[in-house]
Amino acid sequence: MFYPYIKYQYSYSCEFLKFINKFVNIFSWYKLTINKEIDNGLILLSTFPDEESLIDLSKTLIKDKKLCACVNYARINSLYMWKNDLKQESEFLALYKTTSKCVEQLKTEILKKHPYEIPEVVILTMKDVSHGYLNWLIDSTK
């Protein structure tokens, strides 16, 4: 008589744990979608003529305006046509991590303050982003 009671309690506990697990999954979904207004992670790509102009603009965009959570950048070599001449130059590629709520304002700020006459601005959608990273991204932007 004692054993069935323990078996019943164990089975109830397993079902209860499954319920809790579902609740946690639903809460995570809620936090990322409904509570965060269904925001997605985006990468805005742009090139700069030098590291100084990239860093100056990026600090403002990250710290002051909170339009992106971070920027990754690296020196690259570029070949391109400019005013009927083939150019080969060293540039800096910037990858701005932002959200769908901030991307248009981020794009506007970059286009307004960029040193190039015609700045490159390409927006890429993040696919299959970890929940923790997306939460950090959303919390780090306005």
Model confidence pLDDT, tens digit, residues 101-138: 999 999 999 999 999 999 999 999 999 899 999 999 99
Q: What is the Cα gyration radius of the chain?
A: 24
Angle, CA 55 vertex, CA 110 and CA 74 arms, to 5°: 95
At 48-91, the pLDDT tens digits run 999 999 999 999 999 999 999 999 999 999 999 999 999 999 99
Give dist(CA 45, CA 120) in Å, integer: 7
- The domain limits of the chain are 1-35, 41-140
Tokens representing 130 are: 């970890």
CATH of segment(s) 41-140: 3.30.70.120
Please give the order of strands across the beta sheet that includes 70-82: 70-82, 85-99, 41-48, 122-125
**What does DSSP assign to residue 114?**
-
